[in-house]
Structure 1
Amino acid sequence: MDPKVVIALFGGCIALLLIIGAPLKPMRFIGQGLIRILIGALLLFFLNTFGTVINLYVPINIATASVSGFLGIPGIIALVCIKQFIM
């Protein structure tokens, strides 16, 4: 192969990776965030299911699902404290 063709192929591959690879990173962060919100909604669903025994209910919306998804168990505890003591 001619060296010009090899250099052109390598340059084209690098340019393609730079163009395609850049938008994929923000999409990965958005996807991870959506998965965390879904896990948070699932955790709130289980909290509401088992919390009916002790008369505990935390509404499931985008804000509460985000808090419980990103903070995990401490976020759920914070939501329960806010619901019980502030509201």
Structure 2
Amino acid sequence: MIALILGAITAIFLAGIFLKSVKIIVKLLINILVGVIALYIFNLIFSGFGLTIIINPITSFLVGFFGLPGVIALVILKLFL
């Protein structure tokens, strides 16, 4: 009986860890998608000025994770490198 209770507690604990990691991964993917959309809009607006940022997983992650400061950092990198 004790083994059954310990097994159930362990299963609930492992399920909680799994669900938490899935939530983190889903949130990360949503942020990357938001980064892609933000970079696409940025490229639409500023392509007339000759300023575009390549959309790839790294730049999308930076913009999705940092938001507007990420875009500003990428623009500064683009201008000086």
* Alpha-carbon distance in 1 for matches of 2:39, 2:10: 45
Number of equivalent positions: 80
Q: 1:75 aligns with which of 64, 70, 74?
A: 70
Q: Distance in 1 between matches of 2:11 and 2:70?
A: 41
Whose radius of gyration is greater, 1 or 2? 1
Q: Which runs of 4+ in 1 moved over 2 A?
A: 11-17
Q: Residue 31 of structure 1 corresponds to which residue in structure 2?
A: 26
Map 1:37-48; keep pairs closer than 5 Å.
37-48=32-43
Identical-pair percentage: 37
Match of 2:57 in 1: 62
Give the TM-score taking structure 2 as reference length. Answer: 0.83
- Segments of 5+ residues of structure 2 without an aligned counterpart are none
RMSD: 2.0
Instruction: In structure 1, list runs of 5 or more residues that go unmatched.
Output: none
TM-score, scaled relative to structure 1: 0.78
Per-residue CA distance 1:5-52 (angstroms, 9 max, x = gap): xxxx9x476444223222111111111111111111110000001111
